[in-house]
Each structure stands twice: as C-alpha cells, then as structure tokens.
Structure 1
Amino acid sequence: MSDCRPYKSYLFKYHIDNPTLAGQQSNKMKDYNILKTLCKRIFLMGSGNFWYEEDEIGNDKKILYKVYGTIIFFMYGFMTLLEIMAAVFGDFPEDEKRDSVTFATSHTIVMIKIYSVISKKELIKKLNHDLVRVSELYEQEPLMAEKYRIMKINVVAYFVTVYGSGACFVFEGFRKMHEGSHFATVITYYPAFEDNSILANAFRFFTTAVLFVMLMTMILTVDAFTMVNLIMYKYKFITLRHYFETLGREFDENNVQGNSKQAVERLTNGFVEGITMHNELIRLSKEIDKAFGSVMALQLCQSSGSAVSLLLQMALADQLTLFASMKIIFFVAALFFLLGLFLCNAGEITYQASLLSDTIFYTGWYACPAQRRTKRNLRHMVLQACTQAQRPIIMKAFKMLELTYGTFLLVVRGTYSVFALFYAQHK
C-alpha cells in the first residue's frame, strides 16, 4: 500500500478542508464497511473468513465451523454429482432430461467458481485490505453514495432474477404434482422418475432446499463479491480523477492569491501522492485478475453454453406451460445479466482509467516556474504520469479475451448465432 507519512501534514490539511470526507469514517457507504458486511454474510454461509482483520468477524479455523462448512459443501457436491449422473445415466422424460443436463452443467461450473474463490482466501484478504486503504482519505460522500446505490441495484436485481428463476422451477414442480405426477425441481439420479414413495418425495424437497441455499452461497461468495470488487475498483479511479481535479483547483486559487511558492510546493507534494495512488491502483488490477479472473472467465462459458441449451428447450418444445417458459426466461436473464455486470463494469474500469491522462495534464503544472532537474521535478513527473495513464488497464478472461462492452455484445450475438444454427438443424 502507499505510505502517506511523508505528506502527512498535506493530507491532514486536505482532509480538514473537506468536511464531507472527515465525517465518513463510520458511514455505511465506506468501502471498509461494505466489504466487511459482505464478508460477514459470506462467513455465515460457511465459505470462510475473507476479512483481513483478525477476530472481527469470526474464526473459520474452529472445529465446529469447519464441520459446518464441510457439511454444507458436501451437500452441494453430492447434489451436483447426482445431477451429473442423472444427465449421463438417468432414464427420465424429455423435459426432465433437458433440465438435468442444464442443471448438471450450470451447477458444476458454480461449484468450480466457488472453489476458485475459496482457494484464494489469503489473496482476497490482502486485496480487501489494499482496496479499502487506497485513496481512502479522498472518498467524497456524493460519489460514495452513488457507488453504494449502484452496488445495491446490481446485487438486488441479480438476486431477484436468480431466485425468480428458482421460484418458477418450484411452481412448475407443484403444477406437475397437482396434475398427478411428482414434485421435481432439481433432477437427480436418485430417485428414479417412477419412484413416488414418501422417501423419494422427501429427497426431492430436500434437494430443492439445498439448491436455494447453494444459490445464496453462489450469489454472496462468488458473484456479488466479484461484482462489488469491480465496482469499488472502478470508483477508485473516479476518486483519483477528482483528487487531481481538486489539486489543480487548489493550485489555481493559491497561485492567483500570490502564494506561488506555497502553491508549487502543495501541488508537487499532492502530485507525488496522486502518482503513488495511481501506481497502487495499477498493481491492484493484477491482484483482482488473480482473485476473480477465473470467475469471470467461467461465467463467459456458463452464460453462452447454458443459454444455448435453454433457448433450444424453449424453441423445440411442443408445448410449454407458463411457469416452464418463465423458468427458462429467468434463467437466461440471470446468466446474461450477471455476465453483463461483469463485462460492463470491467469495461468501465478501462474507460475511467483512460480519463486520468487528461486530468493529470490539466492540474496546472504548466503555470509553475521552471524547476531545476531535481528528484521531484514536477514537469518530469507529469510526463511520466501521463505516459503511464495512457496505457489502458484492460481486464481479461483466460488472459486473452478482453472484458469490455464490446465483448458482451460479441457473446450475445455469438450465443444467438449458435442457437440459430442448432435450431435450423433440428428443424
């Protein structure tokens, strides 16, 4: 992390001059409180403690917690295994066979995503620490309120689409039960389709409950966690840009008042701190990629592959009930909504980072008197900072595919093209 001690007096002055910053230490919109609250929810789901402060949330090394987490993930894994067996070996009607393939594929990818996050717990702890601390002193209340609102809208909308899809599967199961068949949401190898015993029906309800808990683990531990980190990282660049804009305005004010020497000194000190924060943000892009890059890459595969399968189900089915149609629509919406959130926020990071170069250039350095070539020559620092800011920060999947708005549109068009091809062959 950046060390602010050499510029402590300058930062303190800036902090006092901006009362909206000084009152933020206990605000729920602060990155510290957002990430800590999310880590608490993740801890309750049995995924472990991702918070960097010891004993603030809970101890995931305790035997009881380990047993709790093991039981939960054993149920997830066992259910997914039975879904895979149903897709490969099961003898089910066509509609349930299709559902078994969809669930087996999707839940296998979900389990891999969950494992990829849990296996990087120590890395994510350090990322949380660094992400909270960088530019913490300069987070302005209106900007943080906007960030918090966007996070809430994204997470709540995704939650609604995921559980809306799950609810439609449940309603369809009850409809079948009402028509004389049995209740079914998750299609597993056991029980067989013909088995309508009390034990078999109890197991079907049990797997439905496991599915809904698994969806919550998926949302909190993987999808919302990744989404929050991307949005938070994006706003770090916006905060840094506002920091340089404030630095330039302050320099102009001091210079106009005739305090040119003090203005140059303040601008130089502030510029060094700004460069330090920018370097830290560039480093964090690699840490975010290490922590969540595999999640975003797997989501690309899951969204495109599962969407083709689901759309074919809808197109080729002779007759679909309302709830059967709705469960497919919600499922596809959840897949592409999450993919859109990942890719568009990653693309927004690239865009916000690209704006820094112009902001740095217009800080007012050109109004400073010429300096001798010293270690802290302002013009030399501006040149280096602008050059560095012009190198785009691009998040990538599989270290090849750029995560941008264009990639999202490419995936959507590609998915539809594959669907149209398979549909034409079946016709």
Structure 2
Amino acid sequence: MRDFNILKSFSQKIYFVGSGNFWYEGEVGDDRNSIYRIYSVILFFIYGSMTVLEIFAALFGNFPKDEKGDCVTFAVSHTIVMIKMCYVIGNKQLIRKLNYDMATVCEEFEETSLQTKKYYNIKVNLIAYFVAVYFSAACFVFEGLRKVKEGSHFVTIVTYYPSFEDDSFPATVFRIYCTIVLFMMMLSMIMTVDAFTMVNLIIFKYKIITLRRYFERISQDFKEMHKINQRLAVEHLAKGLIKGFKVNKELLRILKDIDKAFGFVIALQLCQSSGSAVSLLLQMAISDELTFVGKLKIMFFVIALFFLLGLFLCNAGEITYQSAQLADSIFYCGWHECLWEYQPEGKKIGQMVLIACMQAQKPLVLKAFKMIELTYGTFLLVIKTTYSIFALFNAQSGKSEYK
C-alpha cells in the first residue's frame, strides 16, 4: 500500500472520531461544516468533563484505596491524553502539509517489497497496541462486574460524582456512561495521537531506507554501465546523485516538521509512561487486597504505556540508525572511478559526495524537550530508571510497614 493511501486512510479515521480533517485535499470531509463542528465540540466537551471530574475525585474525593489509586492514575493519564489531542489538533495545518510531503517525497524511488514490509509493520504494531489498550480497559470492566457480584457497585472510571456510597440508579447509569466515554476517548486517542504519530515515524524510517537503497542501486548501475560506456556511466551517476541529494535535503526538512507536529507528544508519553508505571506497580506491590483481575488490569495498563513508548522511541531510534548508514551508501557509489573529463561541468562528483557524506555523518536524532534523545538507549534507560524508582519506593514502603 502506498504512503498516500495509508495516510489518507488514517485521516479518514481521524475525521470520523471528531478530531478534524488532517488531509491536504478535500476528499476526506469538511471539518468547517457546522454539523461536524457541533459533533466535534460535543465529543471533546464530554471527554473534558469526565477528565475534570476525575481530577476533582483525585483531589477531593473520599474513596477506598483501590478506587483512589485508579482515580489518580486515570486523572493524570487522561489529562495528558487531552493535552496531546489538543496539541495535535492545534497543529492541524502543519500536519496537512506534512501529510502531503510524506505522501510525495521519495515516491519515485519506492520499491514494492519495501512498501509491503512497511504496511505489514504498521499493521502489526497498530493491532498489537490496540489490543493492549482495549484489553487493559476490558480488565477494568471485568473488575467492575466482579464488584457487582460481591454486592458492591459497578465502576471503571472513578469520578467525583457519584460518591462511593451512592448506589442509586442515576449513579449506576452515570458509571456505565463513563465506561462508554472511556472506550470512545481511547479510540480518539489512538487514532488522533498515538497511532498517527507511530505511523509517521515508521513511514519516515522507510523513506530513509528507500533513499539508502536508491544510492546502492545507482552505485550498482554505475558499475555495470562503466564496463560498457564510461562517459554515459559517469553522467548517469552524477544525475542520480544530484536527485538523491535533493531528496535527502527534503527529508531533513520533513523531519523538522515531524518534530514540531509530534515531538511534544512523544515527550509527554515519555513522562506519562515512566510516572504512571511507577505509581501502578507500587500500587500493585503494596496492596494486599488486589484480586487477580485487579493485578491483570494494572499489568496491561503498564504494558500498553511501555509498548507505546517503545513504538515511539524504537522507531525514532531506527531513524537515527538508518540515517547513519547513508554516509556509507553515498561514499561507495563509485565516485573514485569517475574520470575528470567525463564529469559534468560545475558538478564534480567527488566534491558532491564529500559534502553529502559530511552531512550524513551527523545522524538524524529526535529529541524530547530539546534535550533527551529519542533512541533505543533512551527506551532501555527509561525502563531501568522506572524499575529502580519502583524498587526504591517499594523498599521504603516495606520498611515502614515493618516498623
């Protein structure tokens, strides 16, 4: 599937969940239509209202330990989700331009095998993340049903209203309503922010791979043509290199747009995954009243958080790795075999290769908050740091209980 089709399909789904039209053409839908605007405002008002009620419950609510823990976790997570969605929607014009650039750049160099591999990569990662998120939510529903079976009330999202003692019919209806809103909000979150960011990172990664393979291909063509006609081989190599260098320059510009459009989202996810994971794991470690389903819901919540962070950081790290390979692909193009008299005037191949190699030797690195490099190493560091902080708090908690 072409990048054009992948990005357009995502834009259609984003439009469907009420976040607006992110496509650069008018085929997806008109988000300036009054009916659509009302639909979008109502959806985000519902999400925002539920998040505010969660924050109030975390600050002022009087709930048992397990519900209080869930309340704080959801209040923090959903606040970050709302900020991420608002940030992405606020960059709608930039993302429309980015979609056009991502769909068109490097298009003439694309290979069917790479396109198939890229689509499979996107599909597998998206399905895995979708399953992790909704299975975690399903565990909260199962835990709520278990509480009903034991004579308590059904609850998934803990909000300021209703109170813990309120088992009236309106309170039950509101708790079920909040559960439905949770599932809707997660769909908007996945499509508008998480999956869309992941897809752009994967597509850009394959753009770099495609460009690298293009340089390798013209190098092979040069070697074959050089045996037959040296002048024609040199001219073909020069034209091919110039075309590749232009695409590389365009990719550098596009990466800056990706950083502007999604860099803050990845940075927030870095904070959310590490902070929430420590809180959830500690809650599971020190609580003696958690059921198997209760532990399962926490574990899948943590898995979903770290799986998304892994998708972000590993794909960002792969961009850095693949861009670092460009210098070798350019250098070994065969420029040293080009005779001076055959080279185009004003376009000396050796000089062009030298400049391009110098640029390519500085790998492309995305950074969170302009400081933290988004790479494989950062992902491993976050996991180690999270576990270390959890172990420290858990040890301190154990000492307190012993005393």
Q: TM class, shorter-chain normalised?
A: over 0.9
Give the Å deviation of 1:375: 2.4
Q: Secondary structure at the match of 2:155?
A: coil
Q: Secondary structure at the match of 1:189?
A: coil
Superposed CA deviations along residues 205-262 of structure 1, whole A, max 9, x for unmatched, are 00000000000111110000000000000000100011111111111111112x2111
Counterpart of 1:229 in structure 2 is 200
Instruction: Trace 1:56-205 onto structure 2 (pairs within 5 A).
Output: 56-205=27-176
Superposed CA deviations along residues 357-393 of structure 1, whole A, max 9, x for unmatched, are 0100111111110157942111111111111110111
237, 242, 259: which is aligned to 1:289?
259
In the aligned structure 2, how far is the partner of 1:206 from the partner of 1:32?
37
The one-letter code matched in structure 1 to 2:57 is A
283, 291, 306: which is aligned to 1:336?
306
Superposed CA deviations along residues 296-349 of structure 1, whole A, max 9, x for unmatched, are 000011000000110011101113212101100000000000001101100000
In the aligned structure 2, how far is the partner of 1:276 from the partner of 1:303?
38
In the aligned structure 1, how far is the partner of 2:346 from the partner of 2:136?
60
Contact 2:4 2:103 in 1 (8 A): yes
Alpha carbon RMSD of aligned pairs, Å? Answer: 0.9
Counterpart of 2:401 in structure 1 is none
Counterpart of 2:6 in structure 1 is 34
Contact 2:273 2:309 in 1 (8 A): yes
41, 46, 54: which is aligned to 2:18?
46
Give the paired residue count.
397
Give the Å deviation of 1:283: 1.1
In the aligned structure 2, how far is the partner of 1:174 from the partner of 1:288?
43
In the aligned structure 2, how far is the partner of 1:126 from the partner of 1:298?
23
In the aligned structure 2, how far is the partner of 1:301 from the partner of 1:164?
23
Determine if the alignment matches structure 1 residue 298 to structure 2 residue 260. Answer: no
Superposed CA deviations along residues 389-412 of structure 1, whole A, max 9, x for unmatched, are 101110100000000011011111
In the aligned structure 1, how far is the partner of 2:303 from the partner of 2:71?
19
Instruction: Trace 1:377-388 onto structure 2 (pairs within 5 A).
Output: 377-388=348-359
Contact 2:278 2:386 in 1 (8 A): yes
Q: Secondary structure at the match of 1:375?
A: coil
The one-letter code matched in structure 2 to 1:136 is E
Give the Å deviation of 1:81: 0.2
How does the TM-score come out when normalised to structure 1?
A: 0.92
Superposed CA deviations along residues 248-287 of structure 1, whole A, max 9, x for unmatched, are 1111111112x21111111111110000001111111111
251, 256, 263: which is aligned to 2:222?
251
The one-letter code matched in structure 1 to 2:386 is T
Counterpart of 1:12 in structure 2 is none
Q: Unaligned regions of 5+ residues in structure 1, if any? A: 1-28
In the aligned structure 1, how far is the partner of 2:74 from the partner of 2:37?
27
In the aligned structure 1, how far is the partner of 2:346 from the partner of 2:167?
80
In the aligned structure 2, how far is the partner of 1:305 from the partner of 1:374?
59
Moved beyond 2 Å, runs of 4+? 371-375
Sequence identity, in percent?
60
In the aligned structure 2, how far is the partner of 1:314 from the partner of 1:375?
68
Q: Secondary structure at the match of 1:48?
A: coil
Q: Secondary structure at the match of 1:383?
A: helix
How does the TM-score come out when normalised to structure 2?
A: 0.97
Give the Å deviation of 1:163: 0.2
Counterpart of 1:11 in structure 2 is none
Q: Secondary structure at the match of 1:165?
A: helix
Q: Unaligned regions of 5+ residues in structure 2, if any? A: 399-403
Q: Secondary structure at the match of 1:193?
A: coil
The one-letter code matched in structure 2 to 1:312 is L
The one-letter code matched in structure 1 to 2:367 is K
In the aligned structure 2, how far is the partner of 1:354 from the partner of 1:213?
41
Determine if the alignment matches structure 1 residue 309 to structure 2 residue 279. Answer: yes
Q: Secondary structure at the match of 1:279?
A: helix
The one-letter code matched in structure 2 to 1:283 is R
Give the Å deviation of 1:180: 0.6
The one-letter code matched in structure 2 to 1:52 is Y
Give the Å deviation of 1:188: 0.2
Q: Secondary structure at the match of 1:181?
A: coil
In the aligned structure 1, how far is the partner of 2:350 from the partner of 2:392?
58
Determine if the alignment matches structure 1 residue 367 to structure 2 residue 337. Answer: yes
